[in-house]
Amino acid sequence: MSLQNIIDRSETINIARNKLAGSTVSRSGRLRTNVIATAQPFKFTVKFAPMQKYQQARALLEQINRLDKVFAEVIDIGATNSGLSWITEYQGDLSQANLDLLTVDNFAGTILFLDTASLTGTSPTDYLFKQGDYIQFSNGYKYPYTVTVDDFAGTILFLDTASLTGTSPTDYLFKQGDYIQFSNGYKYPYTVTEDVQVGVVGTGTVALVPLSRGIIAQNGYTIANANIVAGTDVRWQVKMLEKPNFTLQPARFLEFDSEFELMEVIED
């Protein structure tokens, strides 16, 4: 747990989650931005707290030397050191028991929202479309689409809320900035980009949770019907991009000569 020790005893933590984007300014003065779809890995720059006793850190130094920039390690922020829990703590209103009841109903990246307010003579159980239906915008639009369920393709997570108990429709399922992750071995955390309220709970009810990045498929892991963990329970798998050297100082202290740069490992 060497990298975890670096996190837990850090003086500062910088968290970067940059999109891969480039901008150009045209001759007419217009700013144009192109964004490439990527997994947007988390990057952490961690400054280890100074004035640590060398004798107490010798095991840590050996663990760091073993990992180097070759091996990955799983870290948390705020679980093993509760003093950091304010960084990732869950902001919503659900109890832990209700959080444990949430399961993934679906996930999608390409969603068309249709206004159905004017429909008449329909039943709630009627199908608007069925999987495989062809649709197209009218009045000269050139490209048809089929209605489907996108597997692991995008940034909206559908959570089954039918099992929740003792909640109010105005309770917050998640708040903007909450960290969430699929449970039982899934490696990649996400943040929630908008506040999501519980709403009415009943048979078949689903909450739409917008996420910070596209859902990443993990080999051997089934996302459908997975449970959710949130807050300090999320974990990252990271490697060092840069491994600092250390200097021994008078009075048997040690100090690293630079910051630790860690990057989330996104596997194929």
How confident is the model at residue 153, as a pLDDT? 37
Q: What is the rounded average pLDDT of the residues 90-111? A: 81
At which residue do the structure tokens 């020790």 appear?
A: 5
pLDDT above 90: percentage of residues in the chain? 43
pLDDT the model gives residue 126: 64
Q: What is the pLDDT of residue 149?
A: 38
Separation CA 193–CA 174 (nearest Å):
9
pLDDT tops 80 at residue 118: no
- In the prediction, which pLDDT does 174 show? 94
Total residue count of the chain as it appears in this document: 268
The Cα angle at residue 218 between residues 216 and 220, in degrees rounded to 5: 155
254 in Cβ contact with 248 (< 8 Å): yes
Can you tell me the mean pLDDT for 27-48?
80
Distance CA 262, CA 72 (A): 10
Q: Could you report the per-residue pLDDT of 177-216, keeping only the tens digit for each?
A: 999 999 999 999 999 988 999 887 777 788 888 888 888 8
pLDDT band at 29 (very low <50, low <70, confident <90, very high): confident
Tell me how many degrees the CA angle 24-215-146 measures, rounded to the nearest 5.
85
Task: Confirm if 134 and 145 have CB atoms less than 8 A apart.
Answer: yes
8 Å CB contact between 235 and 74: yes
% residues pLDDT > 70 (the chain):
80
Domain boundaries, the chain: 2-76+236-264, 83-114+128-234
3-state DSSP assignment of residue 210? strand
Lowest mean pLDDT of 22-36, 40-54, 175-189, 254-268, name the range.
22-36
| pLDDT tens-digit series, residues 248-261 | 888 888 889 999 99
Judged against a pLDDT cut of 80, whether residue 140 lies above it is answered with no
Rounded-to-integer distance, Cα 131 and Cα 153, Å: 17
Which residue, 244, 263, 239, 236, is CA-closest to 67?
Answer: 239
Residue 249, token pair as written in the block: 């100082």
Distances from the Cα of 203 to the Cα of 92, 130, 164, 206, 224, angstroms: 22, 20, 10, 9, 18
